[in-house]
């Protein structure tokens, strides 16, 4: 029975970015995960793309499949994604109790929200979240890979490296927590140019090079730079899981969008 006082952010990208039918969506996500190459990693954080599943779903699945063998699985996911639909200074929480996909509702963790609200660069904006797909498209993958979990969702606008890094540090937690940075890479370039630029971007991400990671290299650059600064201080090790573009998955090659998936783990001894 639903709580009539509960505020839930409903799905806005269902039927466009991914299937709206729950059975079809579950089947599609499971197919993508089954087709992905499995690596034996225990990620503390993932960088994943956020386009329609026909375009970036296989690349996202290469990150989410790393969660399949984890025991115990994370029960808390901190999501950072770029603001596509509103002009935003700083970072925004949605001001609700849950987020929904066609697979069900995911509770928002109140402790994480309170921790984030303590920072002056964080605002509450239902408008920033209402039609933002960069966080929403991650939910079905997480629901199929993790089962039950709570989420702390943050849309990232124009923010300094330090402003994002502060939030990453405050919300990091322990093994129960998984950080997700949602970002596509280059946009609307010819296929070969995209490949070259995205390879350079991947090198910079793996080198924790925040100084040379430009906005045009990744639409989630603001979140990425802050996350990488924190991950470098934690001495994490980055792994490139997949690097392709829409010309590899769907669509023509005259103007493509780049996608990369990365896992960040404790350094092996």
Q: Which DSSP string corresponds to 138-188?
A: THHHHHHHHSS-EEEEEEE-B--HHHHHHHHHHH--STTEEEEEE----EE
Residue 7 within any structural domain of the chain: no
Give per-residue pLDDT as tens, 166-206.
Answer: 999 999 999 999 999 999 999 999 999 999 999 999 999 99
What's the gap between Cα 35 and its chain centre? 20
pLDDT of residue 1: 39
Least confident of 33-42, 93-102, 136-145: 33-42
d(CA 56, CA 5): 36
CATH number at residue 68: 3.40.830.10
Structure-token match 């225990």, residue found? 42
Mean pLDDT of all residues in 15-28: 98
pLDDT: is 31 or 39 the higher one?
A: 31
C-alpha to C-alpha distance for 54 and 17, rounded to whole angstroms: 8
Whether 120 is covered by a domain: the verdict is yes
Residue 56 burial (CB < 10 Å; 0-12/13-18/19+)?
Answer: buried
Is residue 5 scored above 80 in pLDDT? no
Q: Which two tokens stand for residue 171?
A: 């919300």
Under DSSP, the state recorded for 199 is H
User: Domain range spanning residue 43?
Assistant: 28-187+199-266
194 lies in some domain:
no
Does this model's pTM top 0.85? My answer is yes
146 token code pair:
């993790």
Query: What's the rounded Cα separation, in Å, for the pair 119 and 157?
Result: 15
Q: Is the pLDDT of residue 92 over 50?
A: yes
Integer Cα distance of 234 and 237 in angstroms: 9
pLDDT at site 163: 98
Asked if the structure places residue 15 within a domain, the reply is no
- For helices 139-146 and 22-35, what crossing angle results, to 10°? 70
What span, in angstroms and rounded, lies between the C-alpha atoms of 31 and 236? 30
Q: Does residue 103 fall inside a structural domain?
A: yes
Q: Is residue 20 part of a domain?
A: no
Tokens 């970036």 belong to residue: 56
Q: Is residue 6 part of a domain?
A: no
Find, among 211, 218, 205, the residue nearest to 263 by Cα. Answer: 205
∠ CA 215-136-222, rounded to 5°: 20
Tell me the pLDDT band of 120, cut-offs 50, 70 and 90: very high
Number of domains in the chain: 1
Does the residue 18 lie in any domain? Answer: no
């Amino acid at each position: 029975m639903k709580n009539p006082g509960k505020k839930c952010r409903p799905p806005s990208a269902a039927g466009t970015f991914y299937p709206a039918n729950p059975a079809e969506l579950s089947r599609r996500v499971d197919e993508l995960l089954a087709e992905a190459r499995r690596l034996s990693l225990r990620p503390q954080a993932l960088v994943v793309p956020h386009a329609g599943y026909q375009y970036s779903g296989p690349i996202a699945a290469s990150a989410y499949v790393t969660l399949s063998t984890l025991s115990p699985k994370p029960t808390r996911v901190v999501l950072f994604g770029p603001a596509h639909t509103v002009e935003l200074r700083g970072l925004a929480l949605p001001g609700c109790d849950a987020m929904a996909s066609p697979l069900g509702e995911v509770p928002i963790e109140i402790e994480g929200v309170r921790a984030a609200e303590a920072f002056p660069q964080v605002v509450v904006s239902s408008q920033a979240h209402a039609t933002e797909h960069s966080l929403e498209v991650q939910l079905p993958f997480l629901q199929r890979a993790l089962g039950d979990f709570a989420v702390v969702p943050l849309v990232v606008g124009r923010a300094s490296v330090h402003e994002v890094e502060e939030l990453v540090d405050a919300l990091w937690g322990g093994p129960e927590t998984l950080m997700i940075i949602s970002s596509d890479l280059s946009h609307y370039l010819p296929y070969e140019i995209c490949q070259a630029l995205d390879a350079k971007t991947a090198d910079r991400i793996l080198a924790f090079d925040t100084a040379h990671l430009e906005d045009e290299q990744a639409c989630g650059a603001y979140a990425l730079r802050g996350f990488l600064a924190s991950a470098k201080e934690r001495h994490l090790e980055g792994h490139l899981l997949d690097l392709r573009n829409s010309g590899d998955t769907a669509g023509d090659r005259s103007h493509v969008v780049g996608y990369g998936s990365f896992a960040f783990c404790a350094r092996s001894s």
